[in-house]
Each structure stands twice: as C-alpha cells, then as structure tokens.
Structure 1
Amino acid sequence: MSQRVPYYDIAPDGMKIMMDMEKYTKQTTINRTTRELIKIRASQINGCAFCIDMHTSDARKMGESEQRIYCLNAWNECSFYTPEEKVALELSEHITLIPTKRVPDDLYKRVREHYDEKQYVDLVLIINQINSWNRISIAMGNTPTKI
C-alpha cells in the first residue's frame, strides 16, 4: 500500500477511535455479507480504489460470488440480491450521496420492513464508517498494491 503520511503513527488516538468503531460494526447483527456489500458499494460511489480492492478481496475470501461483486453497480436490476441486501444497498447510496439523495421517509419505512430499530441505527453506522474510511484513505493517498 502506498500512502502520503503514516497517519496511524501521527494520530494514534484518532485512529484508535476509528478502529473501535470498526470493531463495533463487526459485532452488530447485520450479517457479514451485507456489511461487505455495503462497503464495496459505498467505496465504488466514493471512488476509493484502496477500499474497493480491500472489500472485494474480503468478500471473495468469505465466499461471495464474482457475479454479485461485479453487479453491485446495478444491484437494483439483479434478482440475486436478497430484499434485505437491496434495501441496505439503497440506504447506502442515499447516505453516501446525502447532499443530493437524503434519506426519505419511504426508504426508512422499507428498511424497517426488514430491519428493526437497532439494526437501522447499525446500518447507518456501518455506512458512515465506510464513508469515513473512504475519505481518510483517499485523503491519505492510499492505493492498492498490485497482486
């Protein structure tokens, strides 16, 4: 990985907060597949090559199909994502693009058809976390390493 500055060394307290939040998101009841799909989709929208590389690799290691990874840009046109995944991906897009998309009440209601109140909050935190990582990674000049 290439980066501009050793930010973990320069701001260890801040990065510890990021890592603590990451730990929290992994302990939620949102399944790992959905979490990884959210991370890939938000990273695609934000153009974070480092995070796209990391999370597509993680998804493949956990058994996610190439087809589902490749089709994330058009998830809403594919029948092989579950209704729960689709609504989580839609929420992901709205939060990632919040200045123009917002989170309308009808989307909130559709999310709540599949997720309880705590899970809704956890989805928002997972989406917020990957958006934060994307911004840190892009600002720090992180790039994936060719394999």
Structure 2
Amino acid sequence: MLTVYLSGEIHTDWRQQIMHGAAALDLPITFTSAVTDHETSDAAGDVLGQESQPFWRDHKSAKVNAIRTKTLLEKCDVAVIRFGDKYKQWNAAFDAGYCAALGKPYITLHAEDLIHPLKEVDGSAMAWAQTAEQVVEVLKYITSKQ
C-alpha cells in the first residue's frame, strides 16, 4: 500500500480527481492531505487560547497545522504538490522543499505558465504533471507489479 500526500491549493477539485482516478483503477493507495477547509485551518490554534491580534492567531494556527503537515509528509511514500494560478501557494513550496530535504519523492502539478517561477521546485521533483490524469498515470505506473 502506497501512501500519497496531497499538498497545495484548496480551491479546485484536483484532489478528488486524483483520488477518484486511483480508485477507478483500484490502485493500492492511501491518500492523506492537509486540512482543506480554509476556516478550519485558520482556527487550528484557537484551542490554545484566543488572540487579540490576527498575526498571533495565524502564527499559532500555522504551527498546529505544521504538526499535521510535517507528520504526514514524513510518513508518506510520495507527495503530489499542486500549484494553482489564482493564489500563491507558499505552503506548497515549503512542502516541496521539505520533501526535497527529506529525500522524499514528489510530483509537482501545475500549468505550463508556472514553469519559470517554479523552476527550483520542479528541479527537485521526480515528475511534473499538468493534469490530475497524468498524476494518476504516474501513480498507476509506480504501483504496478511489473
């Protein structure tokens, strides 16, 4: 069983496309992910006490989220890191760097127009995909018994 961590933008259904594609092919994969509900993620540190300044609320929540992300990235076999065009995904770039530091293979998923800004991130990736279907095909290949 392969464990695949899905990192990156939360505004499109790319995660569902990959999970459905893998399920349709009956691939032996368990998927994990960051919390994809923006409000839940922003409130992750609220259990540690209220903050009067937004910076400190974000700071606490980022650290609580980092516990989850760090643990799941360390446990995964492969990560898929998605960069969308609407927002800058600094967290995804950080996840890619962490994977590179761990020697953890990762696949980047982004459009062709992001090649230049992501050249260093792609430089350490084991594959660059432009579609969720391409990611599924790579996962199919690496889980095949041949």
Structure 1 length as normaliser, TM-score? 0.28
Q: Normalized per residue, which structure has more strand?
A: 2
Greater relative contact order (CA < 8 Å, ≥ 6 in sequence):
1
Structure 2 length as normaliser, TM-score? 0.28
